[in-house]
């Protein structure tokens, strides 16, 4: 896919978001570097099928022709129609995680949607499942949360987990943490957890073109963030550019393990009057 084509489609997707009714995905106050969670972008072979899947999982859906968005508390899900080059588990962007209020309700939803559940623990409130067409999802349970479902984490994969965690701390001003013995980097709205590559296996493929094409962070000030990236030695794959129609600035770069990343400016304003 050409960058120009992708940018047009992304811009139109976000234009729909900007014109939609206030959504669930109101993003949190950014950290000291001006960063918060933003969005995750999937490649799906059948748009309508996956709009229905994410709607059933609790998202607020908006659509126009071939363009769709799904809003969850803390994150936007965007879809590009196409054949993914790889399932998410075969790429550096391994899976996406959500926290739910009711374990049984979401297990039943996943089964009804045709997901392949390969790990479940009602005691721990955890499910790992592959949705149709290659996106892996993790479900965690928090009976005390008010919303039925909220964004929780992106789970990436790397040969050197600590180095990648430290890169996210350096680049996004994240806070060092861990979950279940694995390194994590926390940003307002969620976390980036890092899985290690098993001994004797190859490093994962880059995410671009895969079922999880890229992950997204929102920044308060793109110029300031771009200057920060230059200071820490990160180069853009696509330089920042402003899209006048939606008053949004976007840019792309890739992490050391191969996860494609988009940063947006003003995505947090979507849905505000």
* CA 178 centroid distance within chain: 19
**DSSP H or E stretch at residue 239:** strand 238-243
Q: Does domain 3-269 have CATH number 3.40.47.10?
A: no
Distances (CA, A) of 52 to 96, 104, 204: 18, 20, 29
Question: Per the structure block, which two tokens stand in for 133?
Answer: 């067409």
> What pLDDT score was predicted for residue 62?
62
Say how many residues make up the chain: 273
pLDDT in tens, 164-215: 999 999 999 999 999 989 999 999 999 999 999 987 788 899 999 999 999 9
Question: Per the structure block, which two tokens stand in for 60?
Answer: 């607020």
Tracing tokens 């792309």 back to the chain, one arrives at 252
Q: pTM value?
A: 0.88
Round to whole Å and give the CA distance between 120 and 175. 29
> What pLDDT score was predicted for residue 22?
37
* Close Cβ partners of 201 (under 8 Å, ≥ 6 residues apart): none
pLDDT in tens, 75-108: 999 988 999 999 999 999 999 999 999 999 999 9
Tracing tokens 């499942």 back to the chain, one arrives at 129
> What pLDDT score was predicted for residue 1?
28
| Beta partners for residue 253, in sequence order | 261
Measuring CA to CA, which residue among 132, 107, 111 is closest to residue 120? 107
pLDDT in tens, 70-82: 989 999 999 889 9
pLDDT in tens, 14-60: 333 333 333 455 788 999 999 999 999 999 999 899 999 999 999 99
Round to whole Å and give the CA distance between 244 and 268. 17
* CA 36 centroid distance within chain: 12
Please report the DSSP string for 80-130 in residue order: EES--SS-GGGBSEEEEEEEES-HHHHHHHHHHTT-EEEEEETTTTEEEEE
**Cβ–Cβ < 8 Å for 170, 127:** no
pLDDT in tens, 128-169: 999 999 999 999 999 999 999 999 999 999 999 999 999 999
Distances (CA, A) of 255 to 74, 164, 192, 198, 262: 22, 8, 12, 20, 11
**Cβ–Cβ < 8 Å for 185, 238:** no
């Amino acid at each position: 896919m050409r960058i120009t084509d992708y940018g047009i489609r992304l811009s139109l997707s976000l234009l729909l978001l900007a014109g939609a009714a206030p959504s669930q995905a109101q993003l949190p106050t950014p950290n000291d570097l001006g960063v918060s969670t933003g969005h995750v972008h999937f490649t799906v072979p059948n748009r309508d099928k996956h709009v229905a899947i994410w709607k059933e999982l609790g998202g607020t859906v908006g659509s126009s022709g071939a363009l769709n968005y799904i809003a969850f508390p803390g994150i936007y899900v965007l879809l590009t129609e196409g054949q993914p080059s790889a399932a998410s588990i075969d790429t550096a962007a391994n899976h996406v995680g959500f926290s739910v209020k009711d374990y049984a309700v979401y297990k039943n939803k996943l089964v009804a949607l045709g997901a392949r559940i390969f790990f479940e623990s009602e005691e721990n409130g955890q499910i790992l499942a592959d949705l149709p067409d290659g996106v892996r999802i993790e479900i965690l349970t928090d009976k005390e949360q008010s919303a039925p479902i909220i964004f929780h984490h992106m789970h990436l994969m790397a040969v050197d987990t600590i180095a990648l965690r430290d890169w996210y701390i350096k680049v996004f001003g994240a806070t060092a943490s861990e979950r279940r013995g694995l390194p994590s980097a926390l940003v307002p709205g969620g976390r980036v957890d890092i899985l290690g590559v098993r001994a004797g296996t190859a490093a994962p493929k880059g995410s671009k073109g895969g079922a999880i094409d890229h992950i997204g962070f929102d920044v308060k000030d793109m110029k300031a963030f771009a200057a920060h990236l230059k200071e820490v030695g990160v180069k853009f794959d696509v330089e920042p550019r402003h899209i006048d129609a939606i008053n949004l600035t976007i840019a792309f770069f890739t992490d050391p393990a191969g996860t494609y990343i988009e940063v947006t400016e003003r995505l947090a304003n979507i849905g505000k009057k």
